[in-house]
Amino acid sequence: MKKLVHRLGWPGTIALAVVLLFVFVGLFAPWIAPYPAQGAGAPNVLAKLAPPSADYWLGTDHLGRDILSRIIYGTRVSLTNGVLIVAFSLLIGLPVGLAAGYFGGWIDEALMRGTDVFLAFPALLLAVLMAAALGPGFLNSIIAVAVTWWPWYARLARAEVLVLRGQPYVEAARLAGVSHPRIIARHILPATGRPLTVQAALDVGPALLTAAALSFLGLGVLPPTADWGQMVDAGRKFFPARWWYSAMPGLTIFIVALAFSVLGDALRERKGGTVRAPA
């Protein structure tokens, strides 16, 4: 624990704790939520738009569902959103960047100019366009955001590979007849993988935020599945009189996005390397 605080600093440690808390909450939503059925979408019309109280800590929505339970269930969607967006982006961006950087020449030109096309559009606008074209839905919204996200991984991977490709040991391996796939797997991928995984970890927060923006615009998951962005949108009609409906999920998005961002900064500036000997 002391070591962790030393590495990440207090803000980073707290942010990590918040992130882990949400992961835990998402994993065990049915056991943690006070009203699991409502969290999953069952209406409870007798308690429509109730303000925060002892029964409903964060109030209820227009169908009377406990907002705390909805947020807890929404954690699953939001976190999977963030993780899957980043994973899909890595899945596309990493091979593109590896190929562009490693083989160079016209392959590099073709791949990177193609990548630039995606970067030429404002990211959110492109995501909205994609989501509108694909139609709303869990998987579609993830694909829509990933489409705007992968070029950054392609660029990062390419930059790393360019440095590595010039290493004498890579040239030596090639001169010794080691095949391209093996050189990539042995010498290139492990060394690019590390900065990329750090970047990916940092990106889960912003990715989840973008996904929330999409579902706020009605392009994300469909009701009755709980989703933070969609809850903020639904509560908009009752704002400010029933402020808790929008404010509570909004606050949640704020906290999680902030936690990821602070954790990201802490990771970037962390003291000591990954293979640091215990002090």
Binding residues vs other proteins (CB under 8 A): 105, 167-179, 182, 186-187, 190-191
User: Which is nearer to other proteins, 190 or 272 (by Cβ)?
Assistant: 190
Q: For residues 19 and 110, give the distance between their C-alpha atoms in angstroms, rounded to a whole number.
A: 39
Minimal distance, residue 213 CB to other proteins, in Å? 40
- Termini Cα distance of the chain: 13
User: Which is nearer to other proteins, 23 or 172 (by Cβ)?
Assistant: 172
CA triplet 233, 234, 240: central angle to 5 degrees? 85
**Which parts of 54-150 are beta strand (E)?**
none
The distance of Cα 188 from the centroid of its chain, to the nearest Å, equals: 25
Minimal distance, residue 173 CB to other proteins, in Å? 7
60, β-bridge pairs: 66
Minimal distance, residue 112 CB to other proteins, in Å? 18
Minimal distance, residue 181 CB to other proteins, in Å? 11
User: Which is nearer to other proteins, 83 or 188 (by Cβ)?
Assistant: 188
User: Which is nearer to other proteins, 53 or 167 (by Cβ)?
Assistant: 167
Quick one: which of 202, 212, 208, 201 has its CA closest to 246? Answer: 212
Q: What angle do helix axes 243-268 and 2-27 make, rounded to 10 degrees?
A: 140
Minimal distance, residue 101 CB to other proteins, in Å? 16
Q: For residues 229 and 182, give the distance between their C-alpha atoms in angstroms, rounded to a whole number.
A: 44
Backbone angles phi, psi at 66, to 5 degrees: -60, 120
Collapsed DSSP state (helix, strand, coil) of residue 176: coil
User: Which is nearer to other proteins, 105 or 240 (by Cβ)?
Assistant: 105
Minimal distance, residue 37 CB to other proteins, in Å? 53
Give the tokens for residue 123: 């990211």
User: Which is nearer to other proteins, 54 or 275 (by Cβ)?
Assistant: 275
HSE-CB at 8 with a 13 A cutoff on CA atoms is 20
Quick one: which of 82, 55, 78 has its CA closest to 205? Answer: 82
Q: For residues 84 and 51, give the distance between their C-alpha atoms in angstroms, rounded to a whole number.
A: 34
Minimal distance, residue 273 CB to other proteins, in Å? 12
User: Which is nearer to other proteins, 48 or 174 (by Cβ)?
Assistant: 174
